[in-house]
């Protein structure tokens, strides 16, 4: 099968995924308890004012009509208006996205090279002392939630030692040193779990390639171990590694709700939490669809890399 046709099929799957997620997001927000109009006007609102605000927001229409109207506007780039601030949702997301992408980008720069390095080190001597140590540490880190890691880091380095700030309020006028001090704890908390996943996947993928007939032939030919590991094994194992990296990058963009809330980082995760608290339904829907789009695009990128790197996917038996 040709590469463009496979990519088009993956894109079609991504479009279907976005459509299904949009249905789930809309249905989920519809099932939230309480009334949006009542939440906007407060407990002292009269029935007439509630009816007026419901008519203005279109809440008196049937659910399927409101979904089609909302999703149609979304396809045209119109994410709607915040019920609380009255501002465009796209503007609010654009203002907060820089902090989230900064946090995710710094975490990726730290976690991706370190996890690949740890996975390669563990795969050089399988079931050896170093391999067992790395496997035990990564398995432990996977079992510990990131918010617990964040609380432990704050209690040690902020409360007891006083070395680092407990709150990471990122300001536009912050210099490099201030920004680095504010990002150390949240980046470290995020990196622990991300490194554990990627290191274990790298180890597994490289070990699978080291036992292949092609690698065994290269060993018989006397290929140096470093070249064998970096050129032959790692290049052939790039597909599953890229997949797990893409999934973790998607997590860094859309799954940092707890970390941003704990460290008071004004990013997309905290924006969504605040929207849920204030029952700002259009803003919740906009954030959720943005997170879905990030997941789909990163998975499409990972699938494309896997297809290019692995001819067996393009030419199955």
Model pLDDT for residues 150-161, shown as the tens digit of each residue: 888 888 888 888
Check residue 141 and give its pLDDT: 81
Task: Let me know: does 245 contact 200? Beta carbons within 8 Å.
Answer: no
Check residue 254 and give its pLDDT: 67
Check residue 316 and give its pLDDT: 54
Check residue 310 and give its pLDDT: 61
CA separation for the pair 131, 128 (Å, rounded):
5
| SS3 readout for 296-314 | HHHHHHHHHHHHHHCHHHH
Check residue 35 and give its pLDDT: 62
Q: C-alpha distances in angstroms, 181 versus 75, 176, 184, 254?
A: 40, 9, 6, 23
Task: Let me know: does 256 contact 269? Beta carbons within 8 Å.
Answer: yes
Residue 167 DSSP symbol: S
Task: Let me know: does 83 contact 280? Beta carbons within 8 Å.
Answer: yes
Closest CA to 38 of 25, 51, 27: 51
Question: Model pTM greater than 0.85?
Answer: no
Q: Average pLDDT of each block of 10 consecutive residues along the chain (317 residues)?
A: 71 86 83 65 68 70 80 82 80 85 85 85 80 84 80 86 77 75 84 82 78 72 70 70 77 75 82 81 85 84 72 56
Q: What domains does the chain contain, in order, with CATH numbers?
A: 88-314 (1.10.3720.10)
Where are the alpha helices (H) located in the chain, listed in sequence order? Answer: 3-30, 36-41, 47-57, 63-75, 89-124, 129-143, 146-153, 176-210, 213-220, 225-227, 234-236, 238-254, 257-262, 268-277, 281-309, 311-314
Check residue 148 and give its pLDDT: 84
């Amino acid at each position: 099968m040709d590469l463009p046709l496979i990519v088009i099929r993956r894109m079609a799957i991504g479009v279907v995924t976005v459509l299904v997620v949009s249905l789930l997001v809309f249905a989920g927000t519809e099932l939230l308890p309480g009334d949006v109009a009542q939440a906007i006007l407060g407990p002292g609102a009269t029935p007439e004012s509630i009816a007026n605000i419901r008519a203005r927001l279109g809440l008196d229409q049937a659910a399927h009509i409101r979904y089609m109207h909302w999703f149609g506007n979304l396809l045209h780039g119109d994410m709607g208006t915040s019920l609380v601030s009255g501002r465009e949702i796209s503007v609010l997301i654009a203002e907060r996205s820089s902090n989230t992408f900064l946090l995710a980008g710094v975490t990726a720069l730290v976690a991706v090279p370190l996890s690949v390095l740890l996975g390669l080190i563990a795969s050089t001597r399988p079931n050896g002392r170093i391999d067992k140590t790395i496997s035990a540490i990564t398995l432990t880190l996977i079992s510990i939630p990131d918010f617990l890691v964040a609380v432990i880091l704050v209690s040690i380095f902020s409360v007891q030692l006083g070395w680092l700030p407990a709150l990471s309020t990122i300001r536009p006028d912050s210099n490099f040193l201030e920004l680095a001090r504010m990002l150390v704890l949240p980046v470290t908390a995020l990196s622990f779990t991300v490194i554990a996943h990627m290191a274990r996947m790298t180890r597994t993928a490289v070990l699978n390639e080291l036992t292949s007939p092609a690698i065994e032939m290269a060993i018989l030919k006397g290929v140096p171990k470093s070249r064998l590991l970096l050129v032959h094994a790692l290049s052939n194992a790039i597909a599953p590694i890229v997949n797990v990296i893409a999934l973790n990058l998607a997590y860094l963009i859309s799954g940092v709700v707890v970390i941003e809330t704990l460290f008071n980082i004004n990013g997309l995760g905290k924006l969504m939490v605040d929207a849920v608290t204030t029952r700002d339904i259009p803003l919740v829907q906009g954030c959720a669809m943005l997170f879905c789009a990030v997941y789909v695009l990163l998975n499409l990128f990972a699938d494309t890399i896997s297809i290019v790197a692995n001819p067996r996917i393009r030419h199955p038996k």
